Chains A and B, each alone.
Chain A
Amino acid sequence: MGASELNKQAPNIFVWLLLLGMPFWLPAIGGYTELGTRAVVLGLAAMSLNFLLGYTGVLSFGHAAYFGLGAYGVGMTIRYLMPSTIVGILVGTLVGTLAAAIIGPLIIRLRGVYFAMVTIAFGQVFFFIAFRWNSVTGGDDGLSGWTRLPLDFGFASIDIQHNARAFYYFVLVVFALSVGAMAWLLRSPFGRTLIAIRENEQRARFLGIPVDQHIWISWVISCCFVSVAGALYALLNNFIDPRALYWSQSGDFVIMAVLGGMRSFWGPLIGAAIFVVLQDYLSSQTENWMSFVGLFFVLVVLFFPRGVLGVIRRKVTS
């Protein structure tokens, strides 16, 4: 590894060291482990969204639906089918991915605000299913009566149920696998093609790239990882309710991506961390935290549209 290569890898190494040490340094500065887990889970959701938003240039406002499907998938699997955390995550991811794959063909030809409008409206179908199907989903009260279960490998078992730190590292492993897969995809010719579509769709089309097909695949990949995040989110809370599928949740994911910087790989993770800490702080300080979150949206749009990493990168290059 040469010096320049090391220089290039420095941000990645820094992020991973920070994440690996989280349960140790976060409590020292006044946080708690669950807060860190939350940031990583929502960070994965925002990074998955950014695969589509930042790297393919497609404006999705409906990712909460697939996040919620992953969450209900894991909860319902553990409650009704099979008491296994891993199987639950797999089922949740599969459900979310399948739903996205089916809806995909209906929306891939739409662009811009139209795409945003249709994705957010479609999300509501799943919200109302979760809300109305009381006997199975628990309706408005949410799905309770289940918990995440220890990981059992036969020869050894890890208690992620009661040990918050063990659960954090479990989440981090899933996060690493997902993020690694996305990074690998983005570096592949397929990922480069997505960026080409983002930069100039017409030119990509003229070059013979099947644009709609690429957007469909990118949409499914993005929704797949957001449902992984949703599954982890349900496991974190040992509970899931329809609010995780509501349209305002989709907006939260978008603001995380924008706040951190849509044009950078780690940006959405930083955005999610800021958002989670802010929400945690505000909801403990005031009942009207929603106003402040709204104000925060407005301020980010007006004064900080490039996000944290966007601003830093600009400073570095100039």
Chain B
Amino acid sequence: MSGYGIVSSMTQLVLFNIFNGLIVGAFYALMALGLSLILNLSGVINFAHGGFLAIGGYIAYTLMPYIGFWGGLVVAPLLTAVLGLLVERVLIRRVYGRDPLYSLLLTFGLAFMFEDGTRFIWGAQSLPFQVPGWLVTPLSNQYFFLTGYRLFMVLVVAIAVMGLFLILGRTRLGIRIRAGTLDLETVSVLGVNVRVLRNMNFGLGVYLAGLAGVLAVGQLGLQPTIGASLIMPSFVAIIVGGLGSLPGTLLGGLLIGVASGITTVFFPSATEAVIYVMMAAVLLVRPRGLLGEEGRF
């Protein structure tokens, strides 16, 4: 009888952590997809992506008294995307085509400024972020971990990812982005304004970061360092999934999320480190990543 109880609570613990890992992984994937979009078309690793994520969360927090959680969920990512469009136009655009070193340093500096800027405006202390009450209550007594908000996050991420793939697959902008990823010069010769294309693409990537930000702060609360702590796992998601492949990035994000979830059960202090071990394993066996294209990088 007692043995049965141990097994069942163990199973529940593992289930809980796998599910938790999927949610975390969905997050990483959402953020990593934005990074991937920008990297694939413009060859820029956007270190400031975490900063955009934090700003998305803080904007939602600030607008909450006026437009509520749902308004914030819609408006905050859009405002973050507008900021992204501006930043691309004023700064990022200047380093296209130069040694990748300079885009790295530029976005690195931006990441510092964003983190410190949010600290300056909203303070260093952690702020509470209220999500609607009915989302927080557990859905089941037996599976205590299934709060509505967790399911809701997965749902939003799923919709966003489907939306992204629809945009890329069906709209003119998406088709141009995909074409530009393969051969930007030809796309330019065919009469597409590449500057606008890169600008829109950057905005789209930052939109995803902003959306991830609103979702993240509902779960983790608001802190200026939230962006810095979430960006490295997104890098790992991209590397594990394979550079140049958006489905790969999605897969990579979910995989590392689940891996760290399972590790939490058995070896809690390695929760963060395990994803890097996973990255090492992938690089050893398959240097281009799980779904990466041969010879692209």
Contact = CB atoms under 8 A, between A and B. Distances in A.
Contact of A297 (B108, B235, B238, B272): B108
B48 to A, nearest CB: 9
B60 interface: no
Contacts of A132: 269-270, 272-273
B106 A301 contact: yes
Contacts, number: 129
Interface string A73-117: 000000000000000000000000000000100110111111011
Contacts of A61: 104
B69 to A, nearest CB: 30
A248 B228 contact: yes
B177 interface: no
Given A116-B100, A132-B273, A133-B269, A122 B105 contact: no
B287 interface: yes
Question: Interface range on chain B: under 10, 10 to 19, 20 to 34, or 35 or more?
Answer: 35 or more
Interface centre among B98, B115, B297 (most CB of A within 10 A): B297
Nearest to A109: B287
B285 to A, nearest CB: 10
Residue among B39, B95, B102, B283 with the highest chain A CB neighbour number at 10 A: B283
Contacts of A112: 100, 297
Given A116-B45, A294-B110, A300 B105 contact: yes
Name the interface size band of chain A. 35 or more
Given A297-B105, A297-B112, A298-B109, A125 B273 contact: yes
A104 to B, nearest CB: 11
Contact of B106 (A118, A128, A297): A297
A291 B224 CA distance: 13
Given A121-B279, A129-B273, A301-B95, 11 more contacts: A117-B235, A117-B239, A120-B235, A121-B239, A251-B104, A251-B108, A291-B117, A294-B112, A295-B113, A298-B106, A305-B102
15 contacts: A107-B283, A116-B45, A117-B235, A118-B283, A120-B232, A121-B239, A121-B276, A122-B276, A125-B273, A125-B276, A128-B276, A295-B113, A297-B109, A297-B110, A301-B106
